[in-house]
């Protein structure tokens, strides 16, 4: 019997969508207002879904406190109130929300072994969200 657990986390960060592969004109054409040299910010909502067997003793898929500590330490504290363009993980990658979603998935996949990671969903705005569930 597999049970799914989803938990939400919040952080605010800025980014500029820009690629050194393009000319300034191409960047403006492709990324529009998101290519503003000063960047722009979002209040991101990250939803992490894990799954597993229900432990017969605790009645849980995983301990929520463990999940919360990991998420705060590895994701929220890392990205909250930062410019994503300055993060090492985006040194050679455009810090789009798609790439942010993949990076957060990678962080959980590499560091939280207490449950099976199913998906990461990142809401950028009330209209835009992205989900990633691995390769």
Annotated catalytic residues are 34, 81, 124
- Residue 18 near residue 91, CB atoms below 8 Å: no
Q: Say how many C-beta atoms besides its own lie within 10 A of residue 15's C-beta.
A: 24
Phi, psi of 115 (to 5 degrees): -160, 160
Query: If 0-12 CB within 10 Å is exposed, 13-18 middle and 19+ buried, where does residue 88 land?
Result: exposed
- Residue 38 near residue 104, CB atoms below 8 Å: no
116 three-class SS: strand
């Amino acid at each position: 019997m597999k049970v799914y657990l989803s938990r939400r986390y919040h952080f605010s960060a800025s980014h500029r969508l820009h690629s050194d592969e393009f000319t300034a004109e191409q960047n403006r054409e492709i990324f529009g207002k998101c290519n503003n040299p000063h960047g722009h910010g979002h209040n991101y909502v990250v939803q992490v879904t894990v799954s597993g067997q229900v432990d017969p003793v605790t009645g849980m898929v995983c301990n929520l406190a463990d999940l919360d500590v990991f998420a705060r330490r590895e994701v929220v504290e890392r990205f909250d109130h930062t410019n994503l363009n300055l993060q090492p993980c985006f040194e050679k990658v455009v810090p789009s929300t798609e790439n942010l979603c993949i990076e957060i998935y990678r962080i959980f996949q590499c560091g939280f072994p207490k449950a099976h990671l199913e998906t990461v969903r990142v809401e950028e705005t009330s209209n835009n969200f992205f989900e990633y569930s691995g390769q």
